[in-house]
A and B are shown apart, each in its own frame.
Chain A
């Protein structure tokens, strides 16, 4: 009886040690990251520095976008918390290769840019920060051309200020 109790306790202790070891491993950053970064598509550094939507779109795609009613954006009229604004987009356009989200009044206008390989559907949902009431712009690259949709989202409490 005592024997069983002892070994059970011992097992528990060992399991605990194992768990600690695993957590420890998980926290170690995996050495050189350039390997991963290089394997991926290039991160558009310049586009994420742009201060205007035109500059950001130009840096990303090298062309300008035209408004299209085939780009459907779902965004709230009023966002009570600018730190978390749910925005999604869907489009009926064919051959979509990229979808980007921009907020014209944010210090960095470009928020997110998604690459859509063939076989992936042109629907994306995400949550973004908004400094204040602003136009949200979605740009869709389809068949080598750019299409956009605009919506003003009113922000009660900004998500970028202190």
Chain B
């Protein structure tokens, strides 16, 4: 699969717990490479989660979030088999989107 996003959404009946892991360098722009040159900033700025046409969670990130970022949250509702849409956009304008089925 070409997606950079891995999501696991698990419904417990009342709430749905969501864990997402994304492949991204998350370069802060403060780190130098082996030659002493600054590695330019390259990080996800916004990550959004949509369920049933509504936004359930938005992450605004800076370069201080770890490489291959991980985030976990939970929302009320969410039915097994329903879809959760996850999208990100980084500081260079690249994006990725995926949908995950709630388990």
Contacts and interface: CB of A to CB of B under 8 A. Distances in A.
A25 B79 CA distance: 31
Contacts, number: 131
B45 interface: yes
The contact size tier of chain B is 35 or more
15 contacts: A29-B94, A29-B95, A40-B46, A41-B46, A43-B46, A106-B64, A111-B61, A115-B60, A116-B57, A121-B15, A125-B71, A126-B69, A126-B70, A162-B31, A162-B33
Nearest to A115: B58
Contact of A120 (B67, B72, B75): B75
Nearest to A29: B94
**In the complex, the 6 A-B pairs of residues with the closest C-beta atoms, listed nearest first:** A26-B2, A111-B64, A162-B32, A115-B58, A125-B72, A127-B66
A123 B74 CA distance: 7
A112 B46 contact: no
Contacts of A40: 46, 48, 58, 89
B93 A111 contact: no
Contact of B89 (A25, A36, A126): A36
A88 interface: yes
Contacts of A22: 2
Interface in B51-73: 54-67, 69-73
B99 interface: no
Nearest to A162: B32
B60 A114 contact: yes
A142 interface: no
A103 B69 CA distance: 17
B56 A117 contact: yes
Given A41-B46, A84-B66, A112-B64, 18 more contacts: A22-B2, A26-B2, A40-B46, A40-B48, A83-B66, A107-B28, A113-B59, A115-B58, A117-B55, A120-B76, A121-B73, A126-B72, A128-B64, A129-B26, A129-B28, A129-B65, A161-B31, A162-B33
A116 B58 CA distance: 7
A33 B95 contact: yes
B73 A114 contact: yes
Contacts of B28: 107-108, 129, 160
B30 to A, nearest CB: 5
A143 interface: no
